[in-house]
Amino acid sequence: MFLRVVSAFSCLSAIYGLVQYFDVDFVSWSKTGEVFSVYGNSNFASAAFCLGASTSICTLGLFRRKEKFFEIYFNLANFLLLIFVTIQTKSIQGILGIAVSFVVLSILLIRNRYFSVGMTLFGLMTLLSSILLLGFYGRGPLGTMIVQYTLILRREYWLAGIRMGFDHFFWGVGYDSYGDYFQLYRSDLVTEMTSVGLTTNNAHNPFIQLFSTLGLVGVLPLMV
């Protein structure tokens, strides 16, 4: 049921993304020329489309029933539509997420028939994924080839938030005060990458954001 609900709502947001792609949007947003549906940001939209595509392909691969033709065709059409709008966001994270979901689902299906083969593929996927992830952060054998500047910067946002949280362990630095403390807790690498004046008001991670601003008291409910 959960997968069906996510697929249905993702279809609606994908259709609105299609409206933006064809430049017939009926809402006057502050930004134009982007496919972001109702998420306000193409990166957020890419991640949301990825979630919808993943649930659709999982419904097809794991939970389909021969007698439910409408559900099969709906999820297939929804999957293809979501892939299209994900590509149109021009954000790589959604495309990578869909690829990972497809590979994981394929391995699960193979493992159900050939356990040893499936586990071998899972091990290879884990190894390759680790190499790719390290490469995006400028580490490992692919570090100089696929390094992502924005991911390195985001990692520094996370580290600054973690430092804030541990220095103000129980109560944090104060609600919505991450930006007030960022320059104090950022590393020298941030200054070298950007400038002295760079600041941000969000750690770009909900757990770290709550830990840094509200401490243990704030992050525990989210973890639970």
Residue 205: alpha-carbon gap to chain centroid? 11
Token output for 187: 């590393």
* Mean pLDDT for the stretch of residues 116-136: 87
Burial environment of residue 35 by CB neighbours within 10 A (0 to 12, 13 to 18, 19 or more): buried
Q: How many CB atoms lie within 10 A of CB 29?
A: 11
Per-residue pLDDT band at 99 (split at 50, 70, 90): confident
The per-residue pLDDT for 110 is 86
* Mean pLDDT for the stretch of residues 104-118: 84
The predicted-structure confidence for 137-178, as pLDDT tens digits, reads as follows 788 888 777 777 777 888 889 999 999 999 999 999 998 899
The per-residue pLDDT for 66 is 56
- Confirm if 34 and 102 have CB atoms less than 8 A apart: no
Comparing 63-72, 97-106, 133-142, the range with the smallest average pLDDT is 63-72
Per-residue pLDDT band at 212 (split at 50, 70, 90): very high
The per-residue pLDDT for 68 is 72
Q: Is the pLDDT of residue 200 over 90?
A: no
The predicted-structure confidence for 18-49, as pLDDT tens digits, reads as follows 999 999 988 888 888 889 998 888 988 999 99
* Mean pLDDT for the stretch of residues 117-123: 87
* Mean pLDDT for the stretch of residues 205-223: 91
Q: Is the pLDDT of residue 75 over 90?
A: no
Q: Is the pLDDT of residue 62 over 80?
A: no
